[in-house]
Chain A
Amino acid sequence: MTSRQFRRLATRVGFWVLVAVVLIYAIFPFYYAVITSLKPSSELFTVSYWLDSLDVSNYVTIFSQGSFVRAIFNSILVSISVVAIALLLGVTASYALGRVRFRGRTTVMLVILGVSMFPQVAVLSGLFEVIRGLGLYNNPAGLILSYTIFTLPFTVWVLTTFMKQLPMELEEAAIMDGATPWVTITKVFLPLMWPAMATTGLLAFIAAWNEFLFALTFTLTDSQRTVPVAIALISGGSQHELPWGPIMAASVTVTVPLVILVMIFQRRIVSGLTAGAVKG
Chain B
Amino acid sequence: MTTTTTLPRAPERARPYRGTKVRRQRVRAAWTFLAPMLITLALVAGWPLLRTFYFSLTDGTLSTLGDASFIGLENYLVYDNGAWYGLLTDPLWWRSVWNTVFFAVVSVSLEAVFGVIVALILNAEFRGRMLVRAAVLIPWAIPTIVSAKMWAWMLNDQFGIINHLLMALGLIDSPIAWTASATYSMWAVIMVDVWKTIPFVALLALAAMQMLPRDCYEAAEVDGIHPIKVFFKVTLPLITPALMVAVIFRMLDALRVFDVIYVLTSNASNTMTMSIYARQQLVEFQDVGYGSAASTLLFLIIALATVAYLYVGRKQLQLGGD
A54 interface hit (Cβ, 8 Å): no
CA distance A212 to B147 in the complex (A): 13
**Interface membership of A231, Cβ < 8 A:** yes
Find chain A residues with CB under 8 A from B118 CB.
22
Chain A positions within 8 Å of B246 at CB level: 277
B146, A266: Cβ atoms closer than 8 Å: no
Residues of B within 8 A of A49 (CB): 161
Residue of A nearest to B65 (CB): A129
Interface residues on A, range: 35 or more
What 5 pairs across the A-B complex have the smallest Cβ distances? A126-B48, A126-B51, A119-B256, A96-B30, A181-B29
Q: Are A126 and B142 in contact (CB under 8 A)?
A: no
Residues of A within 8 A of B200 (CB): 273
Query: How many residues on chain B are close to A (CB under 8 Å)?
Result: 108
Footprint of A on B, CB under 8 Å?
1-11, 13-15, 22, 25-27, 29-31, 33-34, 36-38, 40-41, 43-45, 47-52, 55, 62, 65, 118, 121, 124, 126, 132-147, 149-151, 153-154, 156, 158-161, 164, 195, 199-200, 203-204, 207-208, 211, 242, 245-246, 249, 252, 255-256, 258-259, 262-263, 274-275, 278-279, 282-283, 288, 291-292, 295-296, 298-299, 302-303, 306, 317, 322
In the complex, the chain B residue whose C-beta lies closest to that of A85 is: B40
Q: Are B204 and A274 in contact (CB under 8 A)?
A: yes
A155-191: CB near B (< 8 Å → 1, else 0) gives: 0111011001000100000010000111001000000
Contact stretch, chosen from A2-10, A29-37, A57-65:
A29-37
Decide if the interface of chain B is mainly helix, strand, loop or mixed: helix
Instruction: Please tell me if the beta carbons of B2 and A154 are within 8 angstroms of each other in the complex.
Output: yes
CB pair B161–A26 under 8 Å, yes or no, is no
Within 8 A of B (CB), among A37-84: 44-45, 47, 49
Task: List residues of chain A with CB under 8 Å of any chain B CB.
Answer: 15, 18-19, 22-23, 25-27, 29-30, 32-33, 36, 44-45, 47, 49, 85, 89-90, 92-93, 95-102, 105-106, 108-130, 132, 145-146, 148-150, 152-154, 156-158, 160-161, 164, 168, 175, 180-182, 185, 203, 206-207, 209-210, 212-213, 216-217, 227-229, 231-232, 244, 247-248, 251, 254-255, 258-259, 261-263, 266, 269-270, 272-280
With A122-B298, A217-B279, A259-B142 as contacts: A105 and B10 at CB distance below 8 Å: yes
Q: Could you show 13 A-B contacts with beta carbons less than 8 Å apart?
A: A30-B138, A33-B150, A45-B159, A96-B30, A101-B14, A102-B27, A120-B258, A123-B44, A123-B295, A145-B44, A231-B149, A266-B137, A277-B246
